[in-house]
Amino acid sequence: MDFTAWAGLAGLGFVLLALGINAMYIRGRLPLPVSANGFDAVAESFATVGEALKRPSVAAPAGWVCTTVFAAGMLSVLWDGGSGTQAWALVGFAGVLMQNATFTMVEALRFGMAEAATRNRDALAGLWGSSNVLFGFNQVFLALALLGFTAAGSSAGFIPGWHAALGYTSAALLFASASISPYNATGANRAAAIGFVGWLGWATWIVVSSITLLRH
């Protein structure tokens, strides 16, 4: 099996892991970034979460490995498309790497908030606000990944027009959501749905790109 096939499988693996991790958070009623619940409810949730907080995070490193392998596969396929295509592909690859680094901090902050909830709720308030804004800002790196790989893939003829439209639209939604993150420090508001729709577009874009890599 060549590397592009592994990259395609990694992309599909990432989406499955992301859906599974989020399902675990929802099923376990674990506090999510930009939760719509009030601060007292968030604090109580973090204080009582216990070992359940650790289970979803066990799979997080595998997700970061998958996205990196997927992005490397996209970069390798698009590298021969000329200087413009190469530049855009590098933008996409950088976006994935920055997303992984930023979300590592988001994951780590959850454990800090769980400790603060049982020891010092004043500290929890600061950590909760930081986590919400950092989670929101992280979306700009998803937007960069989509923008770079979509522009490169479209230029190289690797992705069709509808796939490119999905990438550009999702990137715009994620960038808009990232830009309003400072107004979302205390929890979710109506505008948070913009980022959620953009993330669904990002996940769908990866699935389609992964299938294309497997067929390449």
Number of domains into which the chain is organized: 1
Q: Is 176 helix (H, G, I), strand (E, B) or coil?
A: helix
The predicted pLDDT at position 26 comes to 77
Q: Is 130 helix (H, G, I), strand (E, B) or coil?
A: helix
The predicted pLDDT at position 22 comes to 84
Task: Please identify every stretch of the chain with a pLDDT value under 70, giving residue numbers as ranges.
Answer: 28, 34-37, 188-190
Residue 64 one-letter amino acid: W
In angstroms, the CA 21 to CA 102 distance is 17
The predicted pLDDT at position 37 comes to 66
The predicted pLDDT at position 44 comes to 78
CB 10 within 8 A of CB 67: yes
The predicted pLDDT at position 105 comes to 92
Region of 50 please: left (phi>0), alpha (psi -120 to 50) or beta.
left
Residue ranges making up the domain that contains 49? 3-215
pTM (two decimals): 0.90
The predicted pLDDT at position 117 comes to 80
DSSP-derived secondary structure letter, 31: P
pLDDT in tens, 42-65: 777 777 777 777 888 888 999 999
Burial 53-72 (b: 16+ CB within 10 A, else e): beebeeebeebbebbbbbbb
